[in-house]
Amino acid sequence: MPRVLLLGGTSEASALARLLAEAQVPAIYSYAGRTAAPLAQPLPLRIGGFGGPEGLERYLRDKAISHLIDATHPFAARISRNATQAARRAGVPLLALQRPEWQPGPGDDWTGVADIDGAVAMLPPTPSRIFLAIGKQSLASFAGLPHRWLLRLIDAPGEPPLPQADVVIARGPFTEAGDRALMAAHGITHLVAKNSGGSGAAAKLAAARALGIRVIMIDRPWVPERMTVTEPQVALDWLRDSTPAGSG
């Protein structure tokens, strides 16, 4: 019988957690502990870092984990690098479950940038109204600019993260109608987004297209090559195929 460690924090990880629970596969769902009250899961939870790649390797050995599935977000690059190293050193098979990148379509007005600093450099010189839909970890990079900000966060910040900012506390997945109303109400001129892919954050892109708003799209950070699938069911199939027969 396999024993799976599922590195979660995305819609795909939640979908796979449901499949694993339904199939009664022994699995542990792991959150970093970024948010005050993460979504409940149908699997036993562990919350918090492992203590770097060495800590994760130790966890794999101590808990006799037979398979590691990295279903973390494409921008969670550090945990993915750690998972690659820890799995290799512990001799545990690793699979990444990750959604494909978004591609611009007809009517989209996207400008691609390499990272957060590239997004800052791409903002207009004149005061504008910018929707930063990138969470809270990168907001400091936008300090000192003459714009008015719309920020969407999961947990209320202790103090205002930026001057001239309106803060919306909301947890995705979001809807096009909701994001369109939000962006129109704030007179948004530019949207900054991460190329997360998936459906949970795509609504704002459709809303920007409908409103003719320019999108500054941040490319994904580099992560090491590893076996990757895009569908939770395919991850379950991999698990079954890579579990020796007769091992329960």
User: Where on the chain is the footprint of ligand 3Y8 (CB under 6 A)?
Assistant: 9-11, 14, 31-35, 38-39, 73, 133-138, 152-155, 171-174, 194, 196, 198, 200-201, 204
Cβ closer to ligand NAP: 53 or 189? 53
Nearest C-alpha neighbor of 152 from the set 201, 113, 110, 207:
201
Q: What is the CA radius of gyration of the chain?
A: 20
Cβ closer to ligand NAP: 10 or 66? 10
CB of 107 to ligand 3Y8, least distance (A): 19
Residue 189 dihedral angles phi and psi, to the nearest 5°: -105, -25
Cβ closer to ligand NAP: 41 or 82? 82
189 binds, among ligand 3Y8, ligand NAP, none (CB under 5 to 8 A by kind): none
DSSP H helical segments within the chain, as ranges?
Answer: 11-22, 52-62, 77-90, 116-122, 176-185, 203-211, 232-241
Restricting to residues 172-211, name those near ligand NAP by CB under 6 A: 194
Looking at this protein, which amino acid is placed at residue 175? T
Strands 129-132 and 148-153 come out as parallel
Provide the binding-site residues for ligand NAP, judged by CB under 6 A: 7-10, 30-32, 34, 49-52, 55-56, 72-73, 75-79, 82, 135, 194
